Amino acid sequence: MIGRLNHVAIVVPDLAAAAETYRGVLGATVSAPLDMPEHGVTTVFVTLPNTKIELLHPLGEDSPVRAFLERHPAGGMHHLCFEVADILAARDRLAEAGLRILGDGEPRIGAHGKPVLFLHPKDLNGTLVEIEQV
């Protein structure tokens, strides 16, 4: 059911420093920082040949990644995002299998303008997973 790995999201304490490491040291293509107030993050997209890395930094006091950064001051992997063709069919199948869907269970428009859902990390080996309809 799941398709391509759309992105790996990493929360970082210093967005400019992290972007420079990916660009200057690792030699990747890196976007300019983009504020996403509706998601409470500032993002830098790192484009790799087979997927993307999203560097996330809290934006605003009630940012959903602020507590994560407090628990992991050096930063850390936050979630994986898998592509699905039909997010409602995917949600129903996952819920039927006993996986918990976060929030109210209805897809929200994610950082790429496409519908997304998040799955409870305790149901997926301690990993927060996002599914995105592409």
Beta strands 34-36 and 29-30 are unpaired
Q: How far is the CB of 2 from Co ion (least distance, A)?
A: 14
Q: How far is the CB of 78 from Co ion (least distance, A)?
A: 8
CA distance 73 to 109: 28
The active-site residue out of 20, 54, 106, 130 is 130
Q: Which helix (H) or strand (E) holds 96?
A: helix 87-96
130 is catalytic: yes
**CB nearer to Co ion: pick between 46 and 81:** 81
Q: How far is the CB of 130 from Co ion (least distance, A)?
A: 5
Q: Which residues bind Co ion (CB under 5 A)?
A: 9, 81, 130
- Is 57 in contact with 42 (CB distance < 8 Å)? yes
Q: Which residues are catalytic?
A: 130
